[in-house]
Amino acid sequence: MKNETIQKQFPLQNQVIQGGDQGEIQPFVPAKIEIGTVPAMIGIVVFLVSVGIAWGTIKTLVKGIKNTLDNNIIPDLKDIRERFGTIEDRVDTLWKDKFAPSRSPRQLNDYGNNILKNSGIKEIVEAKRNQLTKLVKKEDPKNAYDAEKITLSVVADLPKHCPEIIDQLKNGAYKVGTDLDGLLLVGGLHLRNLIFPDLGFFLTDLDKPKSKKPEG
């Protein structure tokens, strides 16, 4: 009687399932929940549209970033590089002026001459003159300006060309209270004065506009 009363009150929610000798009341659970075809397709369409909108937004953002890089950031970086290059040249000029004032041609001042005479760089350059001259000629400078630049560069790389004298160079720099770069600049200017005639140039050529090396 009790079960019948419950079934009458809750005909859909509850069913009597007989198990063994006793009847148990268990909740009724639908066997399967199905989603209609139309709602499913609508959901897929909404998803695809959302993805399309998101992709379009990403493409727009990427394009905007590219335009910003091309029109603003990259030109600014180029300008910054040019400005740093200018500053570097000016600092290099001021550094060289410490040893040899900026004239044409640049010549050693008292400080530079003291380094040349008391550091041992003069003797090193003169001993390595032939080797260093060959390295300069290998670059085949076409004018006095390039010849000077190459000569200074070759002597600046003296520790690489002649590694056996690195300690001698360091000791000489320490002796006169300068750094290795300053010592090699002094040595480079001394070598330039020695070998310019061998290269077919004269120091007075540095006062003139750049021109090709004379043939002969």
Token pair for 176: 């006169």
Give the gyration radius of the chain's Cα atoms: 44
Strand partners, 15: 26
pLDDT confidence of residue 216: 43
- Find the helix or strand (DSSP H, E) in which 68 lies: helix 37-68
| Predicted TM-score of the model (pTM) | 0.57
Helix (H, G, I), strand (E, B) or coil at 150: helix
* Cα–Cα distance, 165 to 128 (Å, whole number): 11
Q: Is the peptide bond before 101 cis (omega within 30 degrees of 0)?
A: no
pLDDT confidence of residue 18: 47
Q: Is the peptide bond before 159 cis (omega within 30 degrees of 0)?
A: no
Strand partners, 199: none
The tens place of each residue's pLDDT in the chain, 216 residues long, gives 545 544 554 454 444 444 444 555 555 555 544 555 656 666 665 665 565 555 556 656 666 666 666 665 555 555 555 554 444 554 556 778 888 887 768 899 999 999 999 999 999 999 999 999 999 999 999 999 999 999 999 999 999 999 999 999 999 999 999 999 999 999 999 999 999 999 999 888 776 655 444 444
pLDDT confidence of residue 199: 93
* Cα–Cα distance, 79 to 92 (Å, whole number): 20
Asked if 121 and 190 touch (Cβ cutoff 8 Å), the reply is yes
